[in-house]
Amino acid sequence: MNSSETNTMPSPDPRAARIERKTNETDIALTLSLDGTGTADVQTGVGFLDHLLTAFACHARFDLSLRCRGDLQIDDHHTAEDCAIALGAAIDRALGGRSGIARFGFAYAPLDESLSRAVIDLATRPLAVIDLGLTREKLGELSCENISHVLQSLATAGRFTLHVDVLRGSNDHHRAESAFKALALAARAAVVRTGTGINSTKGAL
Protein backbone atom coordinates (compact mmCIF):
# COMPACT_ATOMS: atom_id res chain seq x y z
CA MET A 1 0.00 0.00 0.00
CA ASN A 2 1.26 3.46 -0.87
CA SER A 3 -0.93 5.45 1.50
CA SER A 4 -3.88 4.68 3.67
CA GLU A 5 -6.50 6.35 5.78
CA THR A 6 -9.08 4.59 7.89
CA ASN A 7 -11.62 6.92 9.42
CA THR A 8 -14.09 5.84 12.06
CA MET A 9 -17.24 7.85 12.57
CA PRO A 10 -19.65 7.92 15.50
CA SER A 11 -22.80 5.86 15.26
CA PRO A 12 -26.03 6.20 17.26
CA ASP A 13 -25.91 2.44 17.84
CA PRO A 14 -23.41 1.75 20.66
CA ARG A 15 -22.40 -1.55 19.06
CA ALA A 16 -22.06 -0.29 15.52
CA ALA A 17 -19.44 1.44 13.44
CA ARG A 18 -19.00 3.32 10.20
CA ILE A 19 -15.66 3.10 8.44
CA GLU A 20 -14.26 4.94 5.45
CA ARG A 21 -10.93 3.73 4.13
CA LYS A 22 -9.25 5.40 1.18
CA THR A 23 -5.87 4.49 -0.26
CA ASN A 24 -4.22 4.71 -3.66
CA GLU A 25 -5.56 1.18 -4.21
CA THR A 26 -9.09 1.10 -2.75
CA ASP A 27 -11.98 3.32 -1.68
CA ILE A 28 -14.18 1.64 0.93
CA ALA A 29 -17.33 2.67 2.80
CA LEU A 30 -18.61 0.23 5.43
CA THR A 31 -21.27 0.16 8.14
CA LEU A 32 -21.61 -2.63 10.70
CA SER A 33 -23.96 -3.44 13.56
CA LEU A 34 -23.15 -6.33 15.88
CA ASP A 35 -26.77 -6.51 17.07
CA GLY A 36 -28.44 -6.99 13.74
CA THR A 37 -30.44 -9.60 11.90
CA GLY A 38 -27.83 -10.78 9.41
CA THR A 39 -28.73 -8.32 6.64
CA ALA A 40 -25.84 -7.91 4.21
CA ASP A 41 -25.28 -5.69 1.20
CA VAL A 42 -21.75 -6.33 -0.01
CA GLN A 43 -20.34 -5.06 -3.30
CA THR A 44 -16.59 -5.36 -3.66
CA GLY A 45 -16.29 -6.10 -7.36
CA VAL A 46 -15.07 -9.62 -6.52
CA GLY A 47 -18.02 -11.98 -6.57
CA PHE A 48 -16.68 -14.76 -4.37
CA LEU A 49 -15.44 -12.26 -1.78
CA ASP A 50 -18.97 -10.81 -1.71
CA HIS A 51 -20.27 -14.35 -1.21
CA LEU A 52 -17.96 -15.08 1.74
CA LEU A 53 -18.56 -11.76 3.52
CA THR A 54 -22.31 -12.07 3.00
CA ALA A 55 -22.25 -15.56 4.54
CA PHE A 56 -20.21 -14.21 7.45
CA ALA A 57 -22.67 -11.39 8.17
CA CYS A 58 -25.71 -13.63 7.75
CA HIS A 59 -24.62 -16.32 10.18
CA ALA A 60 -23.03 -13.93 12.68
CA ARG A 61 -26.31 -11.99 12.66
CA PHE A 62 -24.36 -8.81 11.94
CA ASP A 63 -25.82 -6.13 9.69
CA LEU A 64 -23.19 -5.22 7.11
CA SER A 65 -23.07 -2.75 4.24
CA LEU A 66 -19.82 -2.67 2.28
CA ARG A 67 -18.89 -0.82 -0.89
CA CYS A 68 -15.42 -1.06 -2.37
CA ARG A 69 -13.88 0.39 -5.51
CA GLY A 70 -10.53 -1.27 -5.92
CA ASP A 71 -7.73 -1.55 -8.45
CA LEU A 72 -9.03 -4.79 -9.91
CA GLN A 73 -7.23 -4.01 -13.15
CA ILE A 74 -4.12 -5.09 -11.21
CA ASP A 75 -5.56 -8.06 -9.31
CA ASP A 76 -7.83 -8.90 -6.38
CA HIS A 77 -5.25 -8.62 -3.59
CA HIS A 78 -5.71 -5.00 -2.51
CA THR A 79 -9.50 -5.23 -2.59
CA ALA A 80 -9.57 -8.44 -0.51
CA GLU A 81 -7.01 -7.16 2.00
CA ASP A 82 -8.48 -3.68 2.46
CA CYS A 83 -12.06 -4.94 2.82
CA ALA A 84 -10.84 -7.23 5.60
CA ILE A 85 -8.96 -4.37 7.25
CA ALA A 86 -12.05 -2.16 7.13
CA LEU A 87 -14.30 -4.91 8.50
CA GLY A 88 -11.84 -5.69 11.28
CA ALA A 89 -11.59 -2.00 12.20
CA ALA A 90 -15.40 -1.83 12.34
CA ILE A 91 -15.59 -4.85 14.63
CA ASP A 92 -12.92 -3.34 16.89
CA ARG A 93 -14.77 -0.02 17.10
CA ALA A 94 -18.19 -1.63 17.61
CA LEU A 95 -16.83 -3.67 20.54
CA GLY A 96 -15.68 -0.50 22.31
CA GLY A 97 -13.92 -1.36 25.57
CA ARG A 98 -15.07 -4.99 25.20
CA SER A 99 -16.70 -4.95 28.62
CA GLY A 100 -19.54 -7.36 29.28
CA ILE A 101 -18.97 -9.69 26.32
CA ALA A 102 -18.46 -13.44 26.32
CA ARG A 103 -15.03 -12.87 24.73
CA PHE A 104 -14.51 -16.47 23.58
CA GLY A 105 -16.35 -18.22 20.79
CA PHE A 106 -15.93 -21.48 18.97
CA ALA A 107 -17.99 -23.26 16.35
CA TYR A 108 -18.06 -26.00 13.77
CA ALA A 109 -19.85 -25.52 10.47
CA PRO A 110 -20.41 -28.10 7.74
CA LEU A 111 -21.16 -27.52 4.09
CA ASP A 112 -21.97 -30.83 2.48
CA GLU A 113 -18.75 -32.89 2.65
CA SER A 114 -16.70 -30.04 4.17
CA LEU A 115 -16.34 -29.30 7.87
CA SER A 116 -14.62 -26.29 9.44
CA ARG A 117 -13.78 -25.16 12.96
CA ALA A 118 -13.24 -21.59 14.12
CA VAL A 119 -12.11 -20.39 17.55
CA ILE A 120 -11.99 -16.71 18.59
CA ASP A 121 -10.65 -14.82 21.58
CA LEU A 122 -11.64 -11.14 21.51
CA ALA A 123 -8.82 -10.12 23.81
CA THR A 124 -6.79 -7.43 22.08
CA ARG A 125 -3.95 -9.70 20.98
CA PRO A 126 -4.11 -10.00 17.17
CA LEU A 127 -3.03 -13.38 15.88
CA ALA A 128 -4.36 -15.66 13.16
CA VAL A 129 -3.57 -19.31 12.54
CA ILE A 130 -5.35 -20.37 9.35
CA ASP A 131 -5.36 -23.74 7.58
CA LEU A 132 -7.92 -23.96 4.77
CA GLY A 133 -6.17 -26.56 2.61
CA LEU A 134 -7.39 -25.04 -0.65
CA THR A 135 -5.92 -26.48 -3.84
CA ARG A 136 -7.44 -24.35 -6.61
CA GLU A 137 -5.74 -21.16 -7.77
CA LYS A 138 -8.98 -19.17 -7.78
CA LEU A 139 -12.61 -19.36 -6.79
CA GLY A 140 -14.36 -17.10 -9.24
CA GLU A 141 -12.16 -14.00 -9.39
CA LEU A 142 -10.83 -14.42 -5.85
CA SER A 143 -7.37 -15.94 -5.53
CA CYS A 144 -7.42 -18.75 -2.98
CA GLU A 145 -4.28 -17.42 -1.31
CA ASN A 146 -6.21 -14.24 -0.55
CA ILE A 147 -8.92 -16.11 1.34
CA SER A 148 -6.49 -16.97 4.13
CA HIS A 149 -5.11 -13.43 3.89
CA VAL A 150 -8.60 -11.99 4.43
CA LEU A 151 -8.91 -13.94 7.67
CA GLN A 152 -5.45 -12.89 8.82
CA SER A 153 -6.09 -9.23 8.00
CA LEU A 154 -9.48 -9.35 9.72
CA ALA A 155 -7.96 -10.64 12.96
CA THR A 156 -5.13 -8.11 12.86
CA ALA A 157 -7.38 -5.09 12.26
CA GLY A 158 -10.02 -6.40 14.66
CA ARG A 159 -7.43 -7.05 17.38
CA PHE A 160 -8.42 -10.60 18.20
CA THR A 161 -6.99 -14.10 18.15
CA LEU A 162 -8.40 -16.38 15.48
CA HIS A 163 -7.87 -20.04 14.61
CA VAL A 164 -9.65 -21.44 11.55
CA ASP A 165 -9.14 -24.98 10.30
CA VAL A 166 -10.94 -26.83 7.54
CA LEU A 167 -11.03 -30.36 8.91
CA ARG A 168 -12.22 -32.15 5.78
CA GLY A 169 -13.73 -31.59 2.38
CA SER A 170 -13.02 -32.22 -1.29
CA ASN A 171 -14.63 -29.12 -2.84
CA ASP A 172 -12.74 -25.84 -2.39
CA HIS A 173 -15.88 -23.71 -2.65
CA HIS A 174 -17.41 -25.73 0.19
CA ARG A 175 -14.19 -25.60 2.23
CA ALA A 176 -13.91 -21.82 2.01
CA GLU A 177 -17.57 -21.16 2.66
CA SER A 178 -17.77 -23.53 5.62
CA ALA A 179 -14.73 -21.74 7.10
CA PHE A 180 -16.49 -18.37 6.94
CA LYS A 181 -19.69 -19.86 8.37
CA ALA A 182 -17.75 -21.34 11.29
CA LEU A 183 -16.08 -17.95 11.78
CA ALA A 184 -19.49 -16.29 11.81
CA LEU A 185 -20.92 -18.64 14.43
CA ALA A 186 -17.85 -18.25 16.63
CA ALA A 187 -18.01 -14.46 16.31
CA ARG A 188 -21.68 -14.44 17.22
CA ALA A 189 -20.92 -16.38 20.41
CA ALA A 190 -17.96 -14.19 21.33
CA VAL A 191 -19.72 -10.81 21.04
CA VAL A 192 -22.77 -11.82 23.09
CA ARG A 193 -23.36 -9.58 26.10
CA THR A 194 -22.98 -11.57 29.32
CA GLY A 195 -22.73 -8.84 31.96
CA THR A 196 -20.97 -5.57 32.66
CA GLY A 197 -17.44 -6.55 33.63
CA ILE A 198 -14.30 -7.47 31.75
CA ASN A 199 -14.01 -11.21 31.18
CA SER A 200 -10.36 -11.50 32.19
CA THR A 201 -8.36 -12.24 35.34
CA LYS A 202 -6.24 -9.20 34.40
CA GLY A 203 -9.25 -6.91 34.59
CA ALA A 204 -8.59 -5.68 31.07
CA LEU A 205 -8.61 -7.02 27.52
pLDDT tens digit sequence for 87-117: 999 999 999 999 999 999 999 999 999 999 9
**1 — pLDDT class (breaks 50, 70, 90):** very low
Q: What is the DSSP letter of 159?
A: T
Residue 4 pLDDT > 70: no
Sorted by sequence, the CB contacts under 8 Å of residue 111 that are 6+ apart come out as 169, 174, 175, 177, 178, 181
Quote the percentage of the chain above a pLDDT of 70: 91
| Measured distance between the N- and C-terminal CA atoms of the chain, rounded to whole angstroms | 30
Q: Give the amino acid at 121.
A: D
Give bridge partners of residue 21 from the DSSP assignment.
6, 28
Answer whether residue 18 shows pLDDT above 90.
Answer: yes
Helix (H, G, I), strand (E, B) or coil at 145: helix
What domains, with CATH codes, occur in the chain? 4-191 (3.30.230.40)
Report pLDDT for 195: 82
| SS3 at position 148 | helix
pLDDT for residue 200 is more than 80: no
Q: Residue 27's pLDDT is what?
A: 98
Among candidate residues 119, 121, 122, 125, the one with its CA nearest the CA of residue 98? 122
The larger pLDDT score, comparing residue 155 to residue 201, is at: 155
Query: What are the tens digits of pLDDT across the range 40-54?
Result: 999 999 999 999 999
